[in-house]
Amino acid sequence: MLDTLANVFKIPELRKRVFFTLGILLIERIAAHIPAPGINALALGQYFKQAENTLLSFYDLFAGGGLSQATIAALGIMPYISASIILQLLGTTVPYLQKLQREGEEGRKKINQMTRYGTVALSAVQALGVATWMCSLSVVLGSQEVKVVPDQGPLFYLLIMVTMTTCTMFIMWLGEQITEQGVGNGISLIITIGILARFPAAIFDEAQQIANGNRNIMIELVLVAILLGIVAAIVFITQGVRKVPVQYARRVIGRKVYGGQSTHIPMRVNIAGVMPIIFAQSIMFVPNTVATFFPGSFSEFITTHFSIDSGFYNFAFLIIIVFFTYFYTAIAMNPAEVADNLKKQGAFIPGVRPGKKTSDFIDNILTRVTLPSAIFLGIIAILPFFVRHATDVSYSFASFFGGTSLLIIVGVALDTIQQVESHLVMRHYDGFLKTGRIRGRRS
Strand partners, 262: 247
442 vs 19: which has the higher pLDDT = 19
Radius of gyration of the chain (CA): 24
d(CA 387, CA 78): 26
From 197, 225, 247, give the residue that closes a domain: 197
Domain co-membership, 261 together with 136 = no
DSSP class per residue in 126-156: HHHHHHHHHHT-EEEETTEEEESSSS-SHHH
Using 50, 70 and 90 to split pLDDT, how confident is the model at 52?
low
23 vs 436: which has the higher pLDDT = 23
CA atoms 314, 232, 364, 335: torsion sign: positive
Using 50, 70 and 90 to split pLDDT, how confident is the model at 439?
very low
Domain co-membership, 174 together with 240 = no
Using 50, 70 and 90 to split pLDDT, how confident is the model at 436?
very low
**What digits encode the pLDDT tens for the residues 174-225?**
999 998 888 888 888 888 888 888 777 777 777 777 777 777 778 778 878 8
d(CA 321, CA 317): 6
CA 419 to chain centre: 17
From 197, 221, 241, give the residue that closes a domain: 197
Beta strands in 233-286 (DSSP E): 241-248, 251-253, 256-258, 262-268
Nearest to 286 by CA among 308, 301, 315, 306: 306
Backbone φ and ψ for 241, nearest 5 degrees, come out as -135, 135
Domain co-membership, 345 together with 375 = yes
Domain co-membership, 145 together with 271 = no
Contact 306, 289 (CB under 8 A): no
Domain co-membership, 217 together with 175 = no
Domain that holds residue 427: 201-443
Domain co-membership, 190 together with 273 = no
Domain co-membership, 290 together with 422 = yes
d(CA 96, CA 114): 12
Instruction: Give burial (CB, 10 Å; 0-12/13-18/19+) of 290.
Output: middle
Using 50, 70 and 90 to split pLDDT, how confident is the model at 441?
very low
Query: How many Cβ atoms from other residues are within 10 Å of residue 66's Cβ?
Result: 26
Q: How many domains does the chain have?
A: 2
Q: What is the CATH number of the domain that holds 152?
A: 1.10.3370.10
Q: Which long-range contacts (CB under 8 A, 24 or more apart) does 290-298 make?
A: 292/129, 292/130, 292/132, 292/133, 293/129, 293/132, 295/136
| Average pLDDT, integer, range 30-55 | 79
DSSP 438: -
From 142, 162, 197, give the residue that closes a domain: 197
**What digits encode the pLDDT tens for the residues 14-28?**
888 889 999 999 998
Query: How many Cβ atoms from other residues are within 10 Å of residue 382's Cβ?
Result: 20
Residue 116 has a pLDDT of 92
Domain co-membership, 110 together with 130 = yes
Domain co-membership, 258 together with 361 = yes
Strand partners, 266: 243
Domain co-membership, 392 together with 293 = yes
Domain co-membership, 191 together with 205 = no
Using 50, 70 and 90 to split pLDDT, how confident is the model at 395?
low
SS3 24: helix
Domain co-membership, 31 together with 100 = yes
Q: pTM here? A: 0.75
pLDDT at 247 over 90: no
DSSP class per residue in 78-100: HHHHHHHHHHHHHTTT-HHHHHH
d(CA 32, CA 77): 11
